[in-house]
Homo-oligomer: A and B are copies of this chain.
Amino acid sequence: MLSKKTKYGIKALTYLARQEQNVPVSIATISEMENISLKFLESILLTLRKSGLLGSKKGKGGGYYLLKDPKDIKMTTVMRVLEGPIAMIPCVSLNYYEKCEDCPNEAECAVHLLMIRVRDSNLKIYGETSLADLANY
């Protein structure tokens, strides 16, 4: 299942992508427009800022804004930041590899083989989809 965090994060990013670039939008505005709990959204936007996707401006007239052109924001990055590793199991993760304790031989493991295929297919989708693709419906 996709977490609400990821869902809301993508919605917020899309909302920003549909605005004029570099004009800050307040958390409150995004929260209202996208029907997202304000405080929860706040923590999500904080995560996105820390990851380098968003910039923020404090004080009156402040808010969040995209740091890059939506065309240059791949969903691979977004998903990794919000949802975590693309791989469904650590033994096929490119960035967070971990061996399965119970598995004596990865090469013979059916789960391993299947999950590599799933990972590659998802990486392809996320890699060829940008925020701009999703914003310009």
Interface residues of A (CB under 8 A from B): 1-2, 7, 10-11, 13-14, 34-36, 75, 88-89, 102-104, 107-111, 113-115, 117-118, 121-122, 124-126, 129, 131, 134-135, 137
Q: What are the residues of chain B within 8 A of A126 when measuring CB–CB?
A: 118
- What is the copy number of this chain in the assembly? 2
Knowing A2-B88, A122-B121, A134-B113 touch, does A102 contact B34 (C-beta < 8 A)?
A: yes
Closest 5 CB pairs of A and B: A110-B134, A14-B110, A35-B102, A2-B88, A121-B121
By the criterion CB–CB under 8 Å, are A110 and B135 in contact?
yes
Knowing A113-B137, A121-B122, A125-B121 touch, does A89 contact B10 (C-beta < 8 A)?
A: no
Min Cβ gap A82→B in Å is 11
By the criterion CB–CB under 8 Å, are B134 and A114 in contact?
yes
By the criterion CB–CB under 8 Å, are B115 and A2 in contact?
yes
By the criterion CB–CB under 8 Å, are A111 and B34 in contact?
no
A13 CA / B111 CA spacing, docked (Å) = 11
Choice from B88, B102, B113, B117 contacting A1 with Cβ under 8 Å: B88
Q: What are the residues of chain B within 8 A of A35 when measuring CB–CB?
A: 102-104
Which of chain B's residues has its CB closest to A131's CB? B110
Which of chain B's residues has its CB closest to A120's CB? B125
